[in-house]
Structure 1
Amino acid sequence: MSAWLGLGPAEMLGLLLVYFIGGLVKGGSGFGLPLVTISMSPFIVPIDLALAVNAVVLPFANVYQYGRSGLAKATLMRFWPILLGLLLGVPIGALFVNAIEPAALTMALGLFILAFVGLSVVNPRIAVPGDLERPAGAATGFIAGIVGALTTANGPLFVIYLVGRGVERQMMVATLGLCFLVFGVLVSGSFWAIGLLDAQRFLLALLCVAPVLVGVWAGDAWGARLPQATFRRFILVLLFLLGANMLARTAFAM
């Protein structure tokens, strides 16, 4: 066990703790798991192993989040255009993996997120008009699919759209679960096809599912007690931190 994938007991415990923290953030906000874990786990394991584990954990976490919401049918009926855009965007993004510099795209995404947070603070009434919900949703899914294929960091794009529509917490968490479930399945299949994911890494990822689910449960129990206005402020703070993290990572990489 100590030599499995080059990980000793300390590394294993550290990795499980990282995924518990990621689950805690996801449970409270509905998103942020891959961004949290991909920021922390490379201090413990190689980046390619971290990406492989993320790819497997994501679908499991989102099946749980989406299934327990009680809003599976409602979210699918309302937000199917996001999924359509996502299914179109992911393969297109995959075609440009070797043509676009991921660091530049990550920096642009971080700047966009910070700009949105700033505008939301100055003008809290920024909104997506109701008559544009479906076309804006399809565009969001399409862009998120491309960005996700290139960086795996597309969660904030979904959140920005849902905040703009004024979606309340329970519906937002359920919708994010649906979007990430579809995206996670697509990414897992892609990683398996290119050899980044194999049987041993799959088994390691399965071990990380349990702490993630415990974290999601604990975070959701806490988040459900927040008033809608407080939840919105929490989301904006989390978006700010994630956007700043994106900029910091690309700056240090240069």
Structure 2
Amino acid sequence: MNTIWATDTLFLIIFAFLIGGIVKGIIGTGLPTIALALITATIGLKEGMAIILLPSILTNIRQGFFGGELKIVMKRSWSFYLATFFTVWIGAAFIPHVNISLLSGLLGIILIIYAAIGILAAGIPQPGAAEWWMSPFIGAINGMLTGLTGSSVIPGVLYLQSLGLQRDTLIQTMGLLFFVSTTTLALALQKNHLLTTELLLVSAIAFIPSFLGMQIGISIRKRISENLFRQFFFSFMLLLGFYIICRSLILFT
């Protein structure tokens, strides 16, 4: 674990969270996804899952709780959040017993699927009358994958985007998902002895570039096309996903 304090590793962490913060400032999401992907590709998945905790929790408190739509969000999506909460624990419980290279490869697959859907701008059908059972079902799958990989984008974010919510409501709904997922993941990692004081300290440090990046991203949002930026973002995620899979295969063999 001493390698985390190496100059090049600290620089990578600062860079990853700065970029993640900029992306979140521009499109409203992407901080944990891009930071986790960059860290996993270098220092490992377990460490990355721990380091993203505080930046993700702190940056999503306001987005999840103070958007003015909390009652509406909870009334519609409470079963989704509840299922996510319980299954994160199950997913995280498998981490000590599964080859970490396989979990890293799973994260790479998730990034590729997420990026491909984003690049193709593929529309996800609305659940309609099936929403009452799909919300807890998708929430359960999302929680399992969050517990295993630290990522909440597949299928959680895609499902929430399919609900046809107004922009502000969707942003708050996603913020609350990230808050619930990451907070529960922190508790689950602690229970499974995967969260150390050292990693929490690095996580606290990582919040600083995350916050600065968000402010930069908000400023950039006013100057460039969001659609153009999303294409660059998803293309980068696609390449990073392939890199993580290749690296996982090499380490596994």
CA-based RMSD of the aligned residues comes to: 3.3
**Pairing 1:163–2:166 present:** no
- Residue in structure 2 matched with residue 70 of structure 1 by the alignment: 68
Letter in 2 for 1:139: F
Partners of 1:150 and 1:9 lie apart in 2 by: 29
- Residue in structure 2 matched with residue 24 of structure 1 by the alignment: 22
Task: Give the one of 79, 100, 117 matched to 2:77.
Answer: 79
CA deviation after TM superposition for structure 1 residue 244, in Å: 4.6
Q: Structure 2: 5+ residue runs without aligned partners?
A: none
CA deviation after TM superposition for structure 1 residue 10, in Å: 6.0
Q: For the structure 1 residues 237 and 174, does the alpha-carbon distance in structure 2 shift closer, same or farther, using more than 3 Å as the test?
A: farther
Indicate if the aligned counterparts of 1:53 and 1:202 stay in contact, CA closer than 8 A: yes
Q: For the structure 1 residues 241 and 157, does the alpha-carbon distance in structure 2 shift closer, same or farther, using more than 3 Å as the test?
A: farther
Letter in 1 for 2:153: G
Partners of 2:219 and 2:73 lie apart in 1 by: 21
Partners of 2:57 and 2:25 lie apart in 1 by: 14
Partners of 1:47 and 1:99 lie apart in 2 by: 12
Q: For the structure 1 residues 235 and 128, does the alpha-carbon distance in structure 2 shift closer, same or farther, using more than 3 Å as the test?
A: farther
Q: Percent identity?
A: 22
TM-score normalised by the chain length of structure 1: 0.77
Q: For the structure 1 residues 104 and 24, does the alpha-carbon distance in structure 2 shift closer, same or farther, using more than 3 Å as the test?
A: closer
**Pairing 1:247–2:248 present:** no
Q: For the structure 1 residues 54 and 142, does the alpha-carbon distance in structure 2 shift closer, same or farther, using more than 3 Å as the test?
A: same
| Mapping for residues 85-234 of structure 1, pairs under 5 Å | 85-97=83-95, 98=97, 101-103=102-104, 105-106=106-107, 108-110=109-111, 112-113=113-114, 116-117=117-118, 120-121=121-122, 124=123, 126-220=124-218, 222-223=220-221
Q: How many residues align?
A: 245
Letter in 1 for 2:20: G
Indicate if the aligned counterparts of 2:45 and 2:149 stay in contact, CA closer than 8 A: no
Letter in 2 for 1:251: C
- Give secondary structure in 2 for the equivalent of 1:59: helix
Indicate if the aligned counterparts of 1:55 and 1:191 stay in contact, CA closer than 8 A: no
Indicate if the aligned counterparts of 2:60 and 2:175 stay in contact, CA closer than 8 A: yes
Indicate if the aligned counterparts of 2:53 and 2:186 stay in contact, CA closer than 8 A: yes
TM-score normalised by the chain length of structure 2: 0.77
Letter in 2 for 1:70: G
Partners of 1:137 and 1:237 lie apart in 2 by: 30
Q: Structure 1: 5+ residue runs without aligned partners?
A: none
Partners of 2:212 and 2:239 lie apart in 1 by: 27
